[in-house]
Amino acid sequence: MTDPDLTTNRSISKVELISRWRRKHPGQPLPEKMIGKPVRTMSGVVPVTLLTKPYPCPGKCIFCPNDVRMPKSYLSAEPGAQRAAANNFDPYNQVSSRLQSYYANGHTTEKVELIILGGTWSAYPLPYKIWFIGRCFEALNEFKPDKKLGAPQISGEAAWPRLLKAQKINETASTRCVGLSIETRPDFITLGQLIELRQMGCTKIQIGIQSLDNRVLRLNRRGHTVAATKKAIKLLRSFGFKIQAHWMANLYGSTPAKDIADFKKLFGQIWYRPDELKIYPCSLIETAELMNYCRKKLWRPYSRAELMRVMVLVLPMVEPYCRVSRMIRDFSSDDIVVGNKTTNFRQLVEARAKNIKEIRYREIKNILVKPDDLRLEIITYTTSIGREKFLQWVTKENQIAGFLRLCLPRVEAPVKELAGAAIIRELHVYGHALALGGLGRTQHSGLGKQLLAAAERLAKGYKKLSVISSIGTKKYYQKHGFKDGQLYQHLQLVD
């Protein structure tokens, strides 16, 4: 966008306008209308997506694209992949350049969620993973909007002490990590892996479950069973991780009716019930093995009407405690041989579906809301390890302004540190990602504090209330009486 510069009679870019405004009003938040694509940080946090280096995945899934320039499952034309390749997959430069771009477009960069994508994280060598995460934290700690970035590095020297030092600095840095996720497969979720991920500061796991039907998993050469998915989700939950499941429609061997029945299990059965969901209808990519199946007429994409019907029927099945983060992949239409190419497919589905309850549809966005106009609602559901309480602040219209996920386990804790603990798995209050300590529209209005107090009451009978905090939210919980443990923070509960 350009605006006329009246003093020099030339057009200036939005970025330049923002920069001038900041120079004139140092320390003040930018007027909302000046922010470019405000929806990007509408949920209160700046999401920074970055990719690991190209590396083979142990999976052999027939629908998965093969692009040697990319980590498995990604295509070079996807926007996130393009940014990663432009930085030669260097984590430091990926984080820094993305934040610089956000800042230049008027977003604040104090609270960052790191979303690490690429094949199966657990299959990468440990030294690479330590180096990668360490460099992400260093990029946050050293972030400057106008810093000139050095030559990108694809790998480097790994050391736990260096990573831990960077995490320590990040606890009080001006750009803090308030969430960190990786993606992996169910059969790679082990006790050792999850301890390692907590040491790295991870709070959310994206897990490719794809189908809850063993026959479909086998036909698509997923290499794991439904039992592995159940076991993985159970372990993730007992560690308190936030669980984002990936589920696919239109896989080889499935039908619209089978997909609908499969999806029903996601929320109907205690084994699954994810916190977030990515729904990916299968698209045919030239380099995927599925191409051969299509040529032999063994598989075909659903017609637009079939796919629409499946999505319109499954979306209302998503329970109010789950957020549907995505409904289609970011593949460019040039890469899709056959399959859905409509980029606003989600909007079309939402316009047709009835009674949508999922979180993203109900987020308060930038609507001004007074805490008095909100009521606290508690949803209780059973999981494979006990009960879960989803506490949500909602308006009269059922829009959501904040929530807390409280896990009340009834099974033995996976690590000693969590023995006798109720676990806060997530606390989120919506509002623009204003500066830490600043006054947002709904953030910092005491809603988070009240959610914590309610969680403490609901955890009665447990020895302590533990939280799977991010490195950058530790100070917040310390302020509310939590003490640092090894992998979690804890509040001792009195009888």
Nearer to ligand SF4, 120 or 167 (CB): 120
Site membership for ligand SF4, residue 224 (CB under 6 A) = no
Nearer to ligand SF4, 64 or 369 (CB): 64
- CA atoms of 458 and 405, how far apart (whole Å): 11
Smallest distance from the beta carbon of 72 to ligand SF4, in angstroms? 4
Nearer to ligand SF4, 222 or 346 (CB): 222
Residue 247 has phi, psi (to 5 degrees) of: -130, 140
Of 114, 111, 109, residue with least CA distance to 134: 114
Site membership for ligand SF4, residue 418 (CB under 6 A) = no
Smallest distance from the beta carbon of 284 to ligand SF4, in angstroms? 14
Angle 180-186-187 (CA atoms, 0-180°, nearest 5)? Answer: 125
Smallest distance from the beta carbon of 317 to ligand SF4, in angstroms? 24
Nearer to ligand SF4, 16 or 289 (CB): 289
Q: Pick from 107, 185, 234, 237 the residue near ligand SF4 by CB under 6 A.
A: 185
Smallest distance from the beta carbon of 206 to ligand SF4, in angstroms? 10
Nearer to ligand SF4, 173 or 232 (CB): 232
Nearer to ligand SF4, 64 or 471 (CB): 64
> Residue 466's beta-bridge partner residues?
423, 490
Smallest distance from the beta carbon of 365 to ligand SF4, in angstroms? 32
Residues 121-150 that bind ligand SF4 (CB under 6 A): none
Compute CA 134 distance to the chain's CA centroid, rounded to the nearest angstrom: 19
Nearer to ligand SF4, 59 or 409 (CB): 59
Smallest distance from the beta carbon of 252 to ligand SF4, in angstroms? 13
The amino acid at residue 480 is H
Residues 19-78 that bind ligand SF4 (CB under 6 A): 57, 59, 61, 64, 72-73
- CA atoms of 283 and 290, how far apart (whole Å): 9
Q: Pick from 106, 119, 339, 414 the residue near ligand SF4 by CB under 6 A.
A: 119
Helix, coil or strand: residue 177: strand
Smallest distance from the beta carbon of 209 to ligand SF4, in angstroms? 11
Smallest distance from the beta carbon of 340 to ligand SF4, in angstroms? 18
Site membership for ligand SF4, residue 186 (CB under 6 A) = no
Nearer to ligand SF4, 185 or 329 (CB): 185
CB crowding 53-65: b at 16 or more within 10 Å, else e: bbbebebebbbbb
Helix, coil or strand: residue 369: coil
Residue nearest to ligand SF4 (CB): 59
Smallest distance from the beta carbon of 64 to ligand SF4, in angstroms? 3
Nearer to ligand SF4, 182 or 385 (CB): 182
Q: How many residues belong to the site for ligand SF4 (CB under 6 A)?
A: 10
Smallest distance from the beta carbon of 52 to ligand SF4, in angstroms? 11
Contact 41, 52 (CB under 8 A): no
Q: Computed from CA positions of residues 465, 468, 480, 434, in that sequence, does the dihedral angle turn out positive or negative?
A: negative
Looking at the chain, how many residues does it have? 495
Nearer to ligand SF4, 188 or 462 (CB): 188
Site membership for ligand SF4, residue 320 (CB under 6 A) = no
Contact 137, 163 (CB under 8 A): yes
Site membership for ligand SF4, residue 209 (CB under 6 A) = no
Supply the Cα-derived Rg of the chain in whole angstroms. Answer: 22
Site membership for ligand SF4, residue 106 (CB under 6 A) = no
Residue 143, CB half-sphere, CA atoms under 13 Å: how many?
29
Cα–Cα distances in Å, from 342 out to 139, 288, 304, 307? 36, 20, 9, 12
Smallest distance from the beta carbon of 288 to ligand SF4, in angstroms? 9
Site membership for ligand SF4, residue 120 (CB under 6 A) = yes
C-beta pairs of 31-40 under 8 Å, 24+ apart in sequence = 32/366, 32/432, 34/106, 35/105, 35/106, 35/107, 36/1, 36/105, 36/106, 36/107, 37/105, 38/107, 38/366, 38/432, 39/365, 40/102, 40/107
Helix, coil or strand: residue 309: helix
Nearer to ligand SF4, 99 or 290 (CB): 290
Site membership for ligand SF4, residue 220 (CB under 6 A) = no
Summarize as ranges the residues that interact with ligand SF4 (CB under 6 A). 57, 59, 61, 64, 72-73, 119-120, 185, 208
